[in-house]
Amino acid sequence: MQLFDTHAHIGLLQDDKMEQLLAVQMAKVKSVRHVVSICNSLADFERTYANLESSDSVFHAVGVSPTEVTNPGKDWEERVIAHAHKRGVVAIGETGLDYFHMFGGDKTLQIELMLKHLEIARHLDLPVIIHNRNAGDDLLPILSQKLPPKGGILHCFGEDWEFARQTLDLNLTFSFAGNLTFRNSKALHEVAMRLPHDRIVVESEAPFMTPYPYKGERNKIQYLIETVKVLAELRQTSLEELAESLYANSLKAFALPKDL
């Protein structure tokens, strides 16, 4: 069995290069063959990319997340474009909207930041990783009009079936994280049961969104298997069959070779 973690903040797991590489290796022992490293800021990306560039297990996304909306950094658009041409960079992001935290920026600033990321993704012909918290009403029309041709991944999906149904006509993949393992996530469970099998991937979202069996701990990449187990139960399929499908879907979402 092999798993693909579509979203982990490796730079937030550890600061030290060897500790980051060890975290990736520990995950590999637990069947996580590949992981996409996500960074909130460009400074974070530059540090983490330098640490993990040699790892054949790690791919990268580059962008400025909503957390940095008030201070994306000098010449950030040019830097994102430059970094996106580096080996192993497979997506733009994460970007998106977060109306729960706001991060010091109003909705207009967040929308402007997201639109610029969507433009970059379109220009570079890359998929985009999309963050959404309490912002579905604004996010959906933007994606309907501006989603780049390579599509996107709705990371740590947490909306209900009605929202999911409205996005099925778009080139979007739904990524489930540790919140799927929470017993009170009934609306999310319904989505997980009803989505087409070829539109689903999984993520650890480490060090956040720790799966229920490890509640109280900082999340780790290798805990991804817990989300996959719950997803298999909900979809009434074997763990091995689901893992194979999820892995293939991940490769497709990031336009990676099928035989990777």
- For residue 186, being part of any structural domain is answered with yes
- For residue 128, being part of any structural domain is answered with yes
The CATH number of the domain where 91 resides is what? 3.20.20.140
- For residue 166, being part of any structural domain is answered with yes
- For residue 259, being part of any structural domain is answered with no
- For residue 260, being part of any structural domain is answered with no
- For residue 258, being part of any structural domain is answered with no
Q: Rounded to whole angstroms, how far apart are CA atoms 4 and 28? A: 10
Q: Rounded to whole angstroms, how far apart are CA atoms 126 and 123? A: 8
Per-residue pLDDT tens digits of the chain, which is 260 residues long: 999 999 999 999 988 999 999 999 999 999 999 999 999 999 999 999 999 999 999 999 999 999 999 999 999 999 999 999 999 999 999 999 999 888 877 899 999 999 999 999 999 999 999 999 999 999 999 999 999 999 999 999 999 999 999 999 999 999 999 999 999 999 999 999 999 999 999 999 999 999 999 999 999 999 999 999 999 999 999 999 999 999 999 999 999 999 89
Q: Rounded to whole angstroms, how far apart are CA atoms 61 and 91? A: 5
Measured over the CA atoms of residue 122, residue 127, residue 133 and residue 138, the dihedral's sign is positive
Residue 187: is it exposed, middle or buried by C-beta count within 10 angstroms (0-12/13-18/19+)? middle
- The domain of 230 spans 3-253
Domain count, the chain: 1
- For residue 149, being part of any structural domain is answered with yes
- For residue 225, being part of any structural domain is answered with yes
